[in-house]
């Protein structure tokens, strides 16, 4: 079965995260899954080069998750294999004073990919219907109006050649706590944990409800959401890599035709080879 169809949130479908098992395994064998993921990321690198060479469209990948949900790991193990010349990662943290003085999409629009480029958002414009909602940073009538604004924004991107894929990496609260413990026990990664991470756990149900509304209201045919069971990192990587490959292959991208006279260039090449031989 197509992974795109299996994990995509169909427009109009009511998603309940409690009904989706975060422990789901795309394969029974971890070793086999990792082998397939390696093949997928190699193919993904080829497809990214094709996107870059074609230079007609671009790809925006949005990663969202609860804290410790695996956004960094997905970038490192799946998306990080793409050529950095045509791929860029943008993290969105608390807005700066300049960003806060503009509309909530101002900083987002500046970071969207150019033609031929892949942009990966580590968190995204959805923070403004997640954190802003859960912590009452804006009134309900403000954040509730942002869903339509986001849909219009993503449609504008799609109409102008930017494909948008959005991944929600789905873990449960027990797995989050287990990952927090691993961070605490690893001196190389203790800097990644903070008191705020534990404080946010008190809002787990609120965040889950906010995510469900974002998934239900903002998954469209042109900018779909995918819910990826992510308790098992190796399975998460396999799912994301296969969705990416499936989607990019479906675009039927083509390298552009050359605009130079190849016979003339070949003639110059052979002349240069002969000149080099004479010098020897």
Main-chain phi, psi angles of 208, to 5 degrees: -60, -40
Q: Give every strand in the sheet of 58-65, ordered side by side.
A: 87-91, 118-122, 58-65, 162-170, 225-229
Q: Which residue has the higher pLDDT, 189 or 61?
A: 61
CB-CB contact of 128 with 146 (8 Å): yes
pLDDT at 280: 75
pLDDT at 88: 96
pLDDT at 168: 98
CATH topology of domain 3-279: Rossmann fold (3.40.50)
68/73 Cα distance (integer angstroms): 9
- Band of residue 22 on the pLDDT scale cut at 50, 70, 90: very high
The pLDDT of 241-265, averaged and rounded, is 93
pLDDT, the chain, mean? 96
Nearest to 16 by CA among 163, 251, 209: 209
Quick one: tokens of 152? Answer: 């219009």
pLDDT at 13: 86
Name the 3-class secondary structure at 251: coil
Quick one: tokens of 40? Answer: 């997928």
The pLDDT of 91-117, averaged and rounded, is 97
221/252 Cα distance (integer angstroms): 18
Indicate if the pLDDT at residue 59 is higher than 90.
Answer: yes
pLDDT at 149: 98
CB-CB contact of 121 with 90 (8 Å): yes
- Band of residue 269 on the pLDDT scale cut at 50, 70, 90: confident
Radius of gyration (C-alpha) of the chain in whole angstroms: 22
Helical H segments across 89-191, by residue range: 97-100, 106-109, 131-134, 140-143, 146-159, 173-185
Main-chain phi, psi angles of 173, to 5 degrees: -65, -35
Indicate if the pLDDT at residue 250 is higher than 90.
Answer: yes
User: What's the sign of the alpha-carbon dihedral 241, 244, 250, 253?
Assistant: negative
- Band of residue 275 on the pLDDT scale cut at 50, 70, 90: confident
147/164 Cα distance (integer angstroms): 16
Quick one: tokens of 148? Answer: 């339509």
- Band of residue 193 on the pLDDT scale cut at 50, 70, 90: confident
115/60 Cα distance (integer angstroms): 11
């Amino acid at each position: 079965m197509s992974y795109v169809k299996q994990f995509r949130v169909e427009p109009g479908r009511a998603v309940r995260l409690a009904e989706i098992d975060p422990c789901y395994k795309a394969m029974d064998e971890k070793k086999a899954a990792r082998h397939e993921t390696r093949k997928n990321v190699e193919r993904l690198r080829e497809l990214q080069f094709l996107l870059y060479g074609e230079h007609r469209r671009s790809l925006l990948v949005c990663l969202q998750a609860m804290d410790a949900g695996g956004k960094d790991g997905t970038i490192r193990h799946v998306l990080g294999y793409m050529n950095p010349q045509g791929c860029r990662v943008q993290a969105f943290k608390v807005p700066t004073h300049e960003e806060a003085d503009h509309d909530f999409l101002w900083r987002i629009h500046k970071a969207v990919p150019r033609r031929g480029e892949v942009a990966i958002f580590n968190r995204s414009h959805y923070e403004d219907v997640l954190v802003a909602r859960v912590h009452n940073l804006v009134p309900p009538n403000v954040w509730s109006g942002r869903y339509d604004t986001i849909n219009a924004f993503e449609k504008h991107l799609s109409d102008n050649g930017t494909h948008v894929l959005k991944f929600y990496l789905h873990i449960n609260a027990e797995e989050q706590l287990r990952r927090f413990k691993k961070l605490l026990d690893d001196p190389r990664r203790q800097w990644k944990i903070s008191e705020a991470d534990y404080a946010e756990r008190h809002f787990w149900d609120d965040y889950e409800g906010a995510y469900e509304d974002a998934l239900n209201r903002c998954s469209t045919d042109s900018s779909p959401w995918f819910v990826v069971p992510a308790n098992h990192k190796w399975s998460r990587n396999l799912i994301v890599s296969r969705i990416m490959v499936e989607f990019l292959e479906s675009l039927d991208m083509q390298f552009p035709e050359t605009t130079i006279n190849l016979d003339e260039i070949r003639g110059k090449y052979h002349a240069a080879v002969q000149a080099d031989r004479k010098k020897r």
